[in-house]
Amino acid sequence: MIVGRNVRYLRTRLGLTQEELAARVSLRGRHHPTASYISYIESGERDPRLSVVRSLARALHVKPWILLAELTENVRFWDGYLSLTPEQKREVQRVVDWKLQGRS
């Protein structure tokens, strides 16, 4: 359910239709999912495999963990984070890692 909400949020934020997202996703390098499959994921009717989560993340230009997190809990935070450059995101991740290791 979380993955589906996050996929829908990110897809609409990028201005993509389900058909356009499906065309960007490559499963096992052989084929693309259908728009109805994307719809099933977004509605929570399908729980995608990790390989699908990875492919969706690539198509949505995010790390796979972002699809697994409670992304919609704080939309303003995620909008800000997702608008950062890759270098800025790495810096945020370094600071979070540093804090998690108990350093102040």
Q: pLDDT of 73-103, one tens digit each?
A: 667 777 788 788 989 988 988 887 787 777 6
* Residues 78 and 44 sit within 8 Å (Cβ to Cβ): no
- Reported as a pLDDT band with limits 50, 70 and 90, residue 72 is low
* Residues 64 and 53 sit within 8 Å (Cβ to Cβ): yes
Whole-angstrom distance, CA of residue 6 vs CA of residue 43: 11
In one letter, which amino acid is 79?
Answer: D
State pTM to two decimals.
0.69
Whole-angstrom distance, CA of residue 6 vs CA of residue 81: 14
